[in-house]
Structure 1
Amino acid sequence: MTENPTADSPFGDSPPQDPFQAAKASALKAAEELRAAAAQKASEFRSAAEARAQQIRSSAEQKATDIKEKAGEFKEKAGEFADNTLNEARVRIEDLRTEAEKFAREKPLQALLTAFGIGFLVGAIMRR
């Protein structure tokens, strides 16, 4: 009998392998497992990043909607304020016009001299 079992031998199914080939095969298997684990982690990270991005996008859209609503409310209030201010200004102008007419009828010479003085001042200022 021989010491090395052969393919025909009942004690061994394959011829003995080189230890470097076995190490290389083991290293290739470990590298493939590492590559698969890295791909899985990358996929998990991508999924988590996409979920977080969606959350941020949703939050930003909600904030934008809130800001638009507040801006609309502000615009509405500003419009009301402008309308009220314009109405008050119209009332004041009408009162001043009425007073000016009354003054001009009661004291026409003084009103004429006052208008001339104001016109002269405005003309002097505009020349500069």
Structure 2
Amino acid sequence: MNESTAPNTGDHLKESGSHLKESKAHAVQAAEELRAAASEKAQQLKSAATSKADHLRESASSTGNRLRTAAVDRKDRISHLTEEKIAVTKERAKQYHETGEQYVRDNPTKAICTALGVGFVVGLLFRR
């Protein structure tokens, strides 16, 4: 029996060694496939992130340009309105000045007495 089992044991060892080599080869191949799949997925993620970053950059640039244009338009409108208000105010001041001069020409005594009275009251207020 020993002699008949000895060759079988050697065959089993060879078979086990062969299975072990095949398993190792499969494990190496699976590891390489997994590494390749992981590398491909990383490349896809990198590409998607780059694409998204480019899209966000373009969107931010577009929004910045729209805001800049709106700000310039608003500034121009405010500047125009301010110029109009200044012109109207100057015209009114000129009219009041002319009206005042005409009043003083028409009523010189009354104007002088009014000016003296106002001056006296203001002088009293500043003394205190």
Counterpart of 2:37?
Answer: 37
Structure 1: how far apart are the matches of 2:115 and 2:65? 56
Aligned-partner Cα distance in 2 for 1:37–1:83: 68
Identify the structure with the greater helix proportion. Answer: 2
Coordinate RMSD, CA, aligned: 3.2
**Take 2:35 and 2:120, find their aligned partners in 1: how far apart are those partners?**
91
Normalised to the residue count of structure 2, the TM-score between the two structures is: 0.70
Shift of 1:114: 3.6
TM-score, normalised via structure 1 length = 0.70
Classify the secondary structure of the residue corresponding to 1:96.
Answer: helix
Partner of 1:71: 71
Quote how far apart the aligned CAs of 1:86 are: 0.8
Encode CA deviations 1:21-77: one digit per residue, 9 max, x unaligned. 554443343233222211211110110111111011111111111222222222222
2:21 maps to 1:26: no
Please list every run of 5 or more consecutive structure 1 residues that lacks an aligned counterpart in the other structure: 6-14
The answer for unaligned runs of 5 or more in structure 2 is 1-6
2:76 partner letter:
E
1:27 & 1:127 partners in 2: Cα distance? Answer: 105
Paired amino acid for 1:46: K
- Measured in 1, the distance between the counterparts of 2:120 and 2:29 equals 101
User: Which segments of structure 1 move beyond 4 Å, counting only runs of 4 or more?
Assistant: 2-5, 18-22, 118-123
Counterpart in 1 of 2:95? Answer: 95
